């Protein structure tokens, strides 16, 4: 199994009038010059007081102490946003030294192929546990926004709050195939405790990594 612990991050925002960091979602480093990618909806419309929380474990096989509230945070700024693809590039001040996996795309992926996911499910609820999952590609799609079509795939896994921005990769080559956007469920017109019932047993979808490369 490829271990992407060293490049995985939690995206956060400093709470106004406090030193606390509110965790917003997942993201990962994509370049040695300190660029980070996440989903645009993770960051939202407020561009100030953004931080990333670095991993507090050396590898995914380490026991993660959920009671440990210490964290190493770095301030980030928004480098680029693409509302069409729901992608956002952030940047730290300085550089980040690490070997990086290849940024590929979904083009060569076949339906039924197994992929790996690294991310932080439920980080928005205060849980900082880097989690690994495996699932399958269920369909490849072109989705249109503002008359522009982009490449996506549905994956056979339920998305948890905080997982948006997770890395999707080829478990055999380690190539980054895409970025997890979130649940792929139609609107129901019904809200139960703020939840769309159609999202309770949903698949999820990711965007092809070639759209990340276009922004770098």
> Distance (Å, rounded) from C-alpha 68 to C-alpha 128?
9
pLDDT of residue 48: 85
> Distance (Å, rounded) from C-alpha 7 to C-alpha 185?
29
pLDDT of residue 60: 96
pTM of the model: 0.90
Calculate the CA 69 to chain-centre distance. Answer: 22
Which stretches of the chain score pLDDT less than 70? Answer: 185-202
Phi, psi of 7, deg, nearest 5: -105, 0
pLDDT of residue 12: 96
- Domain 5-92 falls in which CATH fold? Thrombin, subunit H (2.40.10)
pLDDT of residue 154: 95
pLDDT of residue 165: 97
Phi, psi of 71, deg, nearest 5: -150, 155
User: What is the domain partition of the chain in residue ranges?
Assistant: 5-92, 114-213
Residues 11-58 pLDDT 10s: 999 988 788 899 999 999 999 999 999 999 999 987 889 999 999 999
Domain 114-213: give its CATH architecture: Beta Barrel (2.40)
What are the beta bridge partners of residue 114?
Answer: 136
pLDDT of residue 203: 84
pLDDT of residue 17: 78
> Distance (Å, rounded) from C-alpha 216 to C-alpha 206?
19
Within this chain, domains 5-92 and 114-213 share the same CATH topology:
yes
């Amino acid at each position: 199994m490829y271990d992407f612990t060293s490049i995985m991050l939690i995206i956060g925002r400093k709470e106004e009038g406090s030193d606390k960091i509110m965790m917003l979602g997942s993201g990962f480093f994509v370049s040695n010059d300190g660029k980070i990618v996440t989903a645009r909806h993770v960051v939202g419309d407020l561009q100030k007081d953004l931080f990333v929380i670095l991993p507090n474990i050396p590898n995914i096989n380490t026991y993660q102490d959920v009671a440990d509230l210490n964290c190493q945070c770095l301030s980030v700024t928004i480098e680029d946003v693409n509302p069409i693809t729901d992608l956002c590039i952030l940047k730290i001040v300085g550089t980040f030294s690490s070997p990086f996996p290849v940024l590929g795309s979904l083009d060569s992926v076949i339906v039924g192929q197994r992929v790996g996911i690294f991310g932080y499910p439920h980080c928005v609820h205060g849980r900082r546990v880097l989690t690994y999952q495996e699932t399958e590609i269920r369909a490849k799609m072109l989705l249109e926004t503002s008359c522009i079509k982009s490449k996506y795939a549905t994956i056979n896994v339920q998305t948890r709050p905080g997982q948006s921005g997770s890395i999707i990769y080829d478990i055999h080559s380690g190539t980054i195939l895409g970025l997890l956007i979130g649940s792929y469920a139609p609107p129901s017109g019904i809200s139960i405790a703020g939840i769309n019932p159609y999202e309770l047993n949903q698949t999820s979808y990711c965007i092809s990594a070639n759209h990340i490369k276009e922004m770098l």
